[in-house]
Chain A
Amino acid sequence: MKINVDRSRCVGAGQCVLTAPALFDQGEEDGLVEVLEAEPDATQAAAARMAAQVCPSGTITLIH
């Protein structure tokens, strides 16, 4: 699984950071999504899927 983000779509809700803090952060300056771990291991896969599902702006996509 690979995490792909389109920062131009991000609205900075922070849902991904709350859902999968090991995988996502928000930029210090702009508050937009930053990927900490683009290829999550099996233990983080469910959190990655949840983060993609709760993102309000369709910023996060998962490539299998």
Chain B
Amino acid sequence: MTLSEPEATEFPVRLPGEPFPPRQYADFRKRPGLIRSTLPTGSPVWLVSRHEDVRTVLTDRRISSNPAREGFPNVAKTGGVPTQEQIPGWFVGIDPPEHGRFRKALIPEFSVRRIREWRPLIQETVDRCVDHLLSLGDSADLVAEFALPVPSLVISTMLGVPFVDREFFESRTKTLVNLKTTTEDERSAAVQELLRYIGRLIKVKQKRPGDDLISRLLESAVLTPEELTGVIMLLLIAGHETTANNIALGVVTLLSNPQWIGDDRAVDELLRYHSVADLVALRVAVEDVEIGGQLVRAGEGIIPLIAGANHDLDSFERPDEFDPGRAARHHVAFGYGVHQCLGQNLVRAEMEIVYQTLFRRVPTLAIDADVAALPFKYDGTLFGLHELPVRW
């Protein structure tokens, strides 16, 4: 075990022209122990880039995801992970055993079986979004006009948001995502508006329950209405930009590999290949712990690099190749451990239905730009596309 601290390495950045995982990750994996780096905020942090080490970090009970703990890393330019004080019920930041109360209340709503029951509704939503896209003529920005609305409309239906409010819901969630065109004030105003809206919606469902997620969670009474507000906000935000990024990047990759269009195995490989939530699973050590031969001391921040793990040669052959024929279910695109993405089966269903429907109904779909010059999110905590100009 290495007790000494390695020399600090510059925080990895994605460079224009090389969108898939930052080139430094391959070098990180070859170096012994972990990578000592400095966050853009100036705080030191450990970077974990090997598949096995990432899985260890995400399952070790001595490592916390509570953002209120001293040393918790913040990679966001603004905000970061909300604490329980800021948004009660934001349970990605709650450690076991308390985390289990939230997770267990939600598991039945996102099981493989339950998501299968939602498929007709997802199909209907995707068809409406394709109708909208086609109504725009023969070209559009696929991100704004399709990739962002699909997950927002699907989750708002699952939650039981009345049809007349879906546009409000969709526009506010879109504001949160558009870091390029919105100000921090506009984004925090959108968060407050959404929280107030969800609070009101919960009150409505208390009086007139329906066949929806909010009504069922109220009935089970495991969570307080205040916690439920935060939980709903989390479901909304966690599943929105991530899914939209996956949809848009997937369209680019499938158009470059058209032999895989129509094959549902492409979905998990797209999730692995793009690893959009590369800098999302943030952690802090609560006790001294050894990871990958490196001593990490209590109070030190840790970032498991999801794209690093998913491109680790020791776990995936030819990791930088897009090959849906590979057995890649052990990827960590949804994280690992007790916080592994609750909505993963919903995302898979949305992606399957989106690709089946989009390429069937718009067979001439093509990217209306040079792929290398597309506005990839090189500087975000989530990888994706700001815009995707397409024509048909």
* A positions within 8 Å CB-CB of B: 11-15, 17-19, 25-32, 50, 53-54, 56-58
A-B contacts, 27 listed (Cβ < 8 Å) = A11-B103, A11-B107, A12-B104, A12-B342, A13-B340, A13-B341, A13-B344, A14-B110, A14-B345, A17-B112, A18-B345, A26-B111, A26-B112, A28-B108, A30-B108, A31-B107, A31-B114, A50-B327, A50-B330, A53-B330, A54-B329, A54-B330, A56-B336, A56-B340, A57-B59, A57-B337, A57-B338
SS of B interface (majority): helix
Is B113 an interface residue when CB atoms closer than 8 A count as contact? yes
A32 neighbours in B (Cβ, 8 Å): 107
Is A14 touching B344 in the complex (CB atoms < 8 A)?
yes
- Shortest Cβ gap from A6 to chain B (Å): 13
Number of A-B contacts (CB under 8 A): 65
Is A14 touching B330 in the complex (CB atoms < 8 A)?
no
- Shortest Cβ gap from B113 to chain A (Å): 6
Closest 9 CB pairs of A and B: A12-B107, A31-B107, A56-B340, A31-B108, A31-B111, A14-B112, A26-B111, A17-B112, A56-B336
Chain B 299-343 per-residue mask, 1 if CB under 8 angstroms from chain A, else 0:
000000000000000000000000000010110001111101110
The residues in B between 9 and 68 inclusive whose CB is less than 8 angstroms from any CB of A are: 58-59
Q: With contacts A11-B340, A14-B344, A14-B345 known, is A31 near B329, CB below 8 A?
A: no
Q: With contacts A53-B330, A56-B336, A57-B337 known, is A18 near B112, CB below 8 A?
A: yes
- Which of B104, B113, B342 is within 8 Å of A26, CB to CB? B113
List 14 additional A-B contacts (Cβ < 8 Å) besides A11-B338, A13-B341, A13-B344: A11-B340, A12-B103, A13-B342, A18-B112, A25-B113, A26-B111, A28-B113, A30-B108, A31-B109, A32-B107, A54-B329, A56-B337, A56-B338, A56-B340
Cα distance, A19 to B348, chains bound together (Å): 14
SS of A interface (majority): loop
B112 neighbours in A (Cβ, 8 Å): 14, 17-18, 26
- Which of B110, B334, B336 is within 8 Å of A12, CB to CB? B110
A58 neighbours in B (Cβ, 8 Å): 59
> Which residue of chain A has its CB nearest to the CB of B108?
A31
A15 neighbours in B (Cβ, 8 Å): 329
Is A30 touching B336 in the complex (CB atoms < 8 A)?
no
Cα distance, A30 to B334, chains bound together (Å): 21
The residues in B between 268 and 322 inclusive whose CB is less than 8 angstroms from any CB of A are: none
> Which residue of chain A has its CB nearest to the CB of B337?
A56
- Shortest Cβ gap from A29 to chain B (Å): 7
Cα distance, A19 to B336, chains bound together (Å): 16
